[in-house]
Amino acid sequence: MSTTSNTQRRARRVCALVLATALVWAGPVGAANDQPAVPSVQQAATEAFWTGDFAALDKMNAAYRQPGPLETNARNRLDYFRRGTSAVFSYVVKNSEAYLSELDALTLQWAHDNPQSAYAHILHARSLLAHAQSYRGTSYVKDVPPEAWAYYQRYVDQAFAYVKQHMDLVSTDSSGHLVLLEIGRGLSWDQARMEAIAEAGIARNPDDIQLYFMVALGLVPKWGGNPKVLDTYIRKVTAATSAKFGTGMYARLYADAMDNQFGAALFESSYADWDKMKQGYEDMLARYPDGAARRNNYAYVACIAKDRPTLQRLLGEIGTGFIADSWGVNPQRAFETCTKWAQQT
């Protein structure tokens, strides 16, 4: 049987696992303006993955891994492309082990069929890391059961061994550096090593700012970091990216830390400075005024910071353009309570 037939067979099996098992999560339901439209790049990546069209994925990656214009919310097409493939890795079904095992096999088949494609090897490593993450979850290290941690470590080790085997190709693409950072976080590499990997990726693609976010994620307490070290790194990145974003990366990186660690206790549990965050949001919106999702997130953080005048202004600008993804873990209630608080005199 040809390798093409094997690949198509595996892709169909992945889809069958989704269709044959009861879906745990089918996506948010609500008003049309609750969620932004899925960008075409993201949707195309997801569809290509589902249908087993690696040639299309490889072509998209080759185009998007180059520096290019940013979208209205200051995200680049590479970010949307990654979100599209991540949607397949993170799809939630009851039989997650069988599903993730098939993805491992499918991506390995693609790598065998396309041995000179850096992206094929990167995608297989990414699949192994998704498998690892399914065991670890998003809790603190100390809260992960030893049995689950052993499986997590096993798949991270497999990913690292695979990347080392193909490092000459993987290192030509900044997505390879992103995978290395995820591996490094799992293997507790020191901060200097992680920053060096990120800078090597930035040298490949100066627009790949997701590398900064990956380093910062490893500095939150959940991953063994601490707020002071995180703050120092965020300030360093903000200075390094000021030509393009002003102080915008300060707001973006702390907003990400809020999502991944601190929640509504951001200003009590970290060194985040509201005045600096506010300036960062203003810088971003001045450069990218159509960033509706960022304006929503700005309003949410203003509410947490108890800045009523700023919240009132932003709610007026948002109007009916509520975007749930920007309002924390309980978005509808957060929006309602913040709106009520803003209306108080």
**Residue 267 resides in a domain:** yes
- pLDDT at site 17: 55
Q: Is residue 295 assigned to a domain?
A: yes
Number of structural domains (the chain) is: 2
The answer to whether position 191 is within a domain reads: no
Query: Is residue 320 in a domain?
Result: yes
For the segment 289-315, what is each residue's pLDDT rounded down to a tens digit? 888 999 999 999 999 999 999 999 999
Q: Is residue 204 part of a domain?
A: no
User: Can you tell me which residue has the tokens 């999702």?
Assistant: 293
Are 277 and 225 contained in the same domain?
A: yes
Distance, CA of 182 to CA of 220 (rounded, Å)? 14
Tens digit of pLDDT for each residue in 227-244? 999 999 999 999 999 998
Residues of the chain with pLDDT under 50: 19-36
Domain boundary among 242, 263, 281: 281
What predicted TM-score, i.e. pTM, was given to this entire model? 0.88
248 and 230 together in one domain = yes
Residues 300 and 264 in one domain: no
CB 162 within 8 A of CB 128: yes
Residue 38 · residue 80 · CB < 8 Å: no
Q: Are residues 226 and 271 in the same domain?
A: yes
Is 274 contained in some domain?
yes
Residues 304 and 337 grouped into a single domain: yes
pLDDT computed for residue 137 by the predictor: 86
Which residues, including other chains, have CB under 8 Å from residue 36's CB and lie 6 or more apart? 292, 293, 323, 325
* Full domain range(s) for residue 345: 291-345
Which residues are 93's β-sheet partners? 23
- Based on the domain organization, do 299 and 334 belong to the same domain? yes
**Domain contains 324:** yes
Residue 268 shares a structural domain with residue 315: no
Same domain, 277 and 303: no
Closest among 165, 209, 148, 211 to 185, alpha carbons compared: 211
Domain finish residue from 247, 281, 315: 281
Angle 273-276-280 (CA atoms, 0-180°, nearest 5)?
Answer: 135
Does any domain span residue 235? yes
